[in-house]
Amino acid sequence: MALNLNDNIRYLKGVGEKRAAMYHKLGIETAADLLRHFPRGYLDLRSCPYAHEAPLGEPCALRLTLLTKGREQRIRKGLSVWKLTAADQSGVVHITFFNAKYTVENLRIGQEYIFYGRLSGTLLRRELDSPQVFSASCSELLPLYPLTAGLTQTRLRQDMAAVLPLADTMPDPLPEEIRLRADLPELSQALRRLHTPETPQQAEDARRRFIFEELFTLSLGLAAVKRGRRQNTARPLVYHDPQEFYATLPFTPTGAQQRAIDDAFADLCTNRPMNRLIQGDVGSGKTLVAAACGWLAAKNGLQCALMAPTELLAEQHHRTLCGLLAPFGVKVGLLTGSLTAANKRKLKEALAMGQIDLCIGTHALLTDDVQWQNLALVITDEQHRFGVGQRVTLREKGTATHMMIMSATPIPRTLSLMIYGDLDVSVIDQLPPGRTPVETLVIDSAKRQRAFGFIRDYLDKGFRAYIVCPLVEQNEQTPEGLLAAEDYLEQIAAPAFVGYKVELLHGKMKPKDKEAIMGRFVRGETQLLVATTVIEVGVDVPSAVIMMVENAERFGLSQLHQLRGRVGRGSEKSWCILVSDSKGELSTKRLDTMKRTTDGFKIAEEDLKLRGPGDFFGSRQHGLPQLRLADLTQDIALLELAQQEASALFRADPELTRYPDLAAQVRRLIATAGELPN
């Protein structure tokens, strides 16, 4: 029986249940899925340089005749080595194989092979360790696929060759007129060129087509989500002039804060659910926007939830919002995992009875037993730390609730087009008056004691300081030179700060212990805090004026910017000291960027260029489907073209009724993010 596109891969000749289970781990269930399992690169076997002319340290293909095969040498239990020699007309290459008995036994002395690997050695002696071996008749670009345990490149290439004829039967989701405007190959041709290219240009043309398709589909999906939300109805709030709220403040909000509040109030007073991002750099005053929206909800007799990623940040929001909303009698609650069972029960009862207007909390807000009488507005802080599903869970505790997202993580424009494509955005691009820019210094560990003296001078004046380490504790896998907070405090900081009150804070501590330590630091009872990145987000201590970061090269630029944002929150001159002994080019560039600018958006752009989108957030929690081919550092032009075409198509045919295959692909892609269009 002939295999069809949607048949399970186990029915492909030679596959069976065992290999089908391996394919399942790669997300491949059907023949169509296998066709869309794209190569991550290619082995170029088309031309082979002479061994003694090929550059050292780079992968290359060498056409060599096997001269000798040494006997198996058992180095230790579980490790066998074979030493071989092979040659071309330029000279001899010494080849070493490890635990490769089958490969070596199948090689014949006097026969020519292609050996592919990274050439090492010296000018006179060329060496190859564990090369791949191919028949001398190979002269092609061989695709390299993502694999899983038990699955080999050879086996996958054979299976791909078996299903490739089905490419002609696969429907092309790209509308022909859009494909032609973008100068892209049609689907079956692109699949053949990607899996069996004759030239690198063919592979690149095919890759370009699939990158466009990926970004085009995602842009349509985000537009569909946005449209679905706008078709919902929410309870419109009755407008109240925010000047009434401003009149009680001990300061005048910046123009950017007032614009963001006006945007949010306009959303809240319509019957379309608000879905707005409030984006602002560290210390720009986003919490005031949350307070104003909570005030408006309370004026309407409705409830508001604010979810923060850590207890420290939730507690800080609670203190701040209590102060801002006290003049209006707004009842503010705090729900975190560290509350006693009795206090949790009392707070949950008050929430369910509508006796709390605004409740701030961590993931504890998501539990099934947290019920609201009339939840109308959900605010999440540092949204990329929550998955889409968590935000949806909280939102669904109300009926068509309004949603506001706050982020102090500046997102580069190119990345925000993807992450925030379904949100309305307000940017707070002004800092409150009186904030002094933080000066950043980069030093090596030889100057650490001098830096400690600098810190002591400020502690003597009544100020406070942070020292951040990348690890909590050392273990046997810890790279040499990487500092852990526990050892650092005991061995390095403690001797330098005898007579000063120094404490340790890290994420493995119990919540109540963290709260007590942070409370002492806020009150000034602790002068120096040695910590991990648990203090990265949101902690606000105006008298903290020095942030010292050890092993600074181990942190992303955006993370360093967040850490730097913990100081400079008062009127006193503040400092960020980055300690690094790394001489690498990438590390030097990143730390120089920190010295040059305090603009979070410029830093984020540079971070994206240097680290790539896969590492930008540290882990993929922002809810987007994983991009399989697109690289947002390289494919910006294609992203913008895909968005233009998607926008035009969506305006003309929002239901995609003329393009059922495209509509199905959009639904599948958005489903992988955990949220379907309504």
Query: pLDDT band at 393, cuts 50/70/90?
Result: low
CATH of the domain at 400: 3.40.50.300
- Looking at the structure, do residues 15 and 30 belong to the same domain, yes or no? yes
Evaluate if residue 449 carries a pLDDT over 90.
yes
- Looking at the structure, do residues 336 and 462 belong to the same domain, yes or no? no
Task: With respect to residue 491, please indicate whether it lies within any of the assigned structural domains.
Answer: yes
Least confident of 50-64, 228-242, 326-340, 588-602: 228-242
Domain with 13, as residue range(s), is 1-40+147-170
Task: With respect to residue 217, please indicate whether it lies within any of the assigned structural domains.
Answer: no
- Give the distance, in angstroms, between the CA of residue 245 and the centroid of all CA atoms in the same chain: 37
Query: pLDDT band at 77, cuts 50/70/90?
Result: confident
485 and 472 in contact (C-beta within 8 Å)?
Answer: yes
Provide the pLDDT for residue 233. 74
295 and 328 in contact (C-beta within 8 Å)?
Answer: yes
Task: With respect to residue 547, please indicate whether it lies within any of the assigned structural domains.
Answer: yes
**What sign does the CA torsion over 363, 365, 370, 376 have?**
negative
Evaluate if residue 447 carries a pLDDT over 90.
yes
Query: pLDDT band at 391, cuts 50/70/90?
Result: low
Provide the pLDDT for residue 503. 93
Between the CA of residue 256 and those of 101, 236, 280, 512, what are the distances in Å?
69, 24, 9, 36
- Looking at the structure, do residues 2 and 92 belong to the same domain, yes or no? no
Provide the pLDDT for residue 614. 43
Give the C-alpha separation, 145 to 159, whole Å. 12
Give the C-alpha separation, 312 to 303, whole Å. 23
Strands 79-88 and 332-335: what pairing? unpaired
The arithmetic mean of pLDDT across residues 96-115, rounded, is 93
Provide the pLDDT for residue 422. 59
Evaluate if residue 119 carries a pLDDT over 90.
yes
Task: Dig out the tokens for 308 from the structure.
Answer: 């923060």
- Looking at the structure, do residues 398 and 294 belong to the same domain, yes or no? yes
Provide the pLDDT for residue 133. 92
* pLDDT tens column, 202-212: 999 999 999 99
Evaluate if residue 468 carries a pLDDT over 80.
yes
Provide the pLDDT for residue 84. 96
Task: With respect to residue 181, please indicate whether it lies within any of the assigned structural domains.
Answer: no
- Looking at the structure, do residues 507 and 583 belong to the same domain, yes or no? yes
Task: With respect to residue 294, please indicate whether it lies within any of the assigned structural domains.
Answer: yes
Provide the pLDDT for residue 622. 43
Task: With respect to residue 325, please indicate whether it lies within any of the assigned structural domains.
Answer: yes
- Looking at the structure, do residues 502 and 571 belong to the same domain, yes or no? yes
Provide the pLDDT for residue 231. 64
- Looking at the structure, do residues 11 and 116 belong to the same domain, yes or no? no
Evaluate if residue 590 carries a pLDDT over 80.
yes
Closest CA to 36 of 50, 47, 21, 26: 26
The arithmetic mean of pLDDT across residues 516-530, rounded, is 89
Query: pLDDT band at 483, cuts 50/70/90?
Result: confident
SS3 sequence of 420-476: CCCCEEEEECCCCCCCCCCEEEEECHHHHHHHHHHHHHHHHCCCEEEEECCECCCCC
The arithmetic mean of pLDDT across residues 465-481, rounded, is 73
- Looking at the structure, do residues 271 and 408 belong to the same domain, yes or no? yes
Give the C-alpha separation, 32 to 166, whole Å. 8
Strands 275-280 and 132-135: what pairing? unpaired
Provide the pLDDT for residue 617. 38
The arithmetic mean of pLDDT across residues 126-149, rounded, is 89
Provide the pLDDT for residue 626. 61
444 and 580 in contact (C-beta within 8 Å)?
Answer: yes
Provide the pLDDT for residue 485. 86
DSSP reduced 3-state for 379: strand
Task: With respect to residue 178, please indicate whether it lies within any of the assigned structural domains.
Answer: no
Task: Dig out the tokens for 474 from the structure.
Answer: 């050392």
**Among 409, 428, 447, which residue terminates a domain?**
428
Query: pLDDT band at 500, cuts 50/70/90?
Result: very high
**What sign does the CA torsion over 181, 185, 191, 196 have?**
negative
More confident residue, 222 or 530: 530
Provide the pLDDT for residue 620. 38
- Average pLDDT over the chain, rounded to whole? 85
Query: pLDDT band at 535, cuts 50/70/90?
Result: confident
Give the C-alpha separation, 288 to 648, whole Å. 37
Query: pLDDT band at 244, cuts 50/70/90?
Result: very high
DSSP reduced 3-state for 620: coil
The arithmetic mean of pLDDT across residues 216-236, rounded, is 77
CATH of the domain at 130: 2.40.50.140
The arithmetic mean of pLDDT across residues 86-109, rounded, is 93
Least confident of 35-39, 449-453, 643-647: 643-647
- Looking at the structure, do residues 417 and 275 belong to the same domain, yes or no? yes
Give the C-alpha separation, 627 to 210, whole Å. 11
Provide the pLDDT for residue 477. 54
Give the C-alpha separation, 312 to 518, whole Å. 8
* pLDDT tens column, 138-152: 878 889 999 888 898
Residue recorded with tokens 């909390």: 361
- Looking at the structure, do residues 467 and 581 belong to the same domain, yes or no? yes
Task: With respect to residue 616, please indicate whether it lies within any of the assigned structural domains.
Answer: no
- Looking at the structure, do residues 364 and 482 belong to the same domain, yes or no? no
Question: Model-level pTM greater than 0.85?
Answer: no
- Looking at the structure, do residues 543 and 483 belong to the same domain, yes or no? yes
**Among 562, 582, 597, which residue terminates a domain?**
597
**Among 366, 400, 428, which residue terminates a domain?**
428
The arithmetic mean of pLDDT across residues 51-66, rounded, is 91
Strands 502-505 and 528-531: what pairing? parallel
* pLDDT tens column, 411-435: 665 566 566 665 788 888 887 776 7
**What is the number of domains present in the chain?**
4
Backbone angles phi, psi at 406, to 5 degrees: -110, 140
Provide the pLDDT for residue 281. 76
CB atoms within 10 A of CB 123: 7
Provide the pLDDT for residue 69. 93
CATH of the domain at 161: 1.10.150
DSSP reduced 3-state for 314: helix
Evaluate if residue 60 carries a pLDDT over 80.
yes
